[in-house]
Amino acid sequence: MVVTMNDDRLDLYVLYVILKILYEKSMKSSVSLMDLFNSYRELTGVKISYEKFRKHIDYAFKTGLIEAKGEKPKVLVLTKKGIDFIFLFERIKELVGIK
């Protein structure tokens, strides 16, 4: 599934994985943007560019899925809308048979 923002195509599955990592990591400690980027690359084994990753993060900010708290380094926090996105995406995965 793909959405477009400012002529950039964003993969909703990549966004889901990013938000899921943020959710799981934030249960244990605060998560900065670089922590999240490194965790995404580690977990998926995908060498996504920082620019492409940042476009997904910007979309998440713009749509209210995440917020930033504090000063440098800013801590990323999922909003209720972000948690709902994760839950609904997991339901879609179940319905279409993706593990």
**Domain extents for the chain?**
2-96
Q: What is the mean pLDDT of residues 22-33?
A: 91
DSSP 11-37: EHHHHHHHHHHHHHHHTTS---HHHHH
- Range 2-96: architecture per CATH: Orthogonal Bundle (1.10)
Burial zone of 32 (CB within 10 Å; 0-12 exposed, 13-18 middle, 19+ buried): middle
Structure confidence by residue, pLDDT tens digits, 31-58: 999 999 999 999 998 888 999 999 999 9
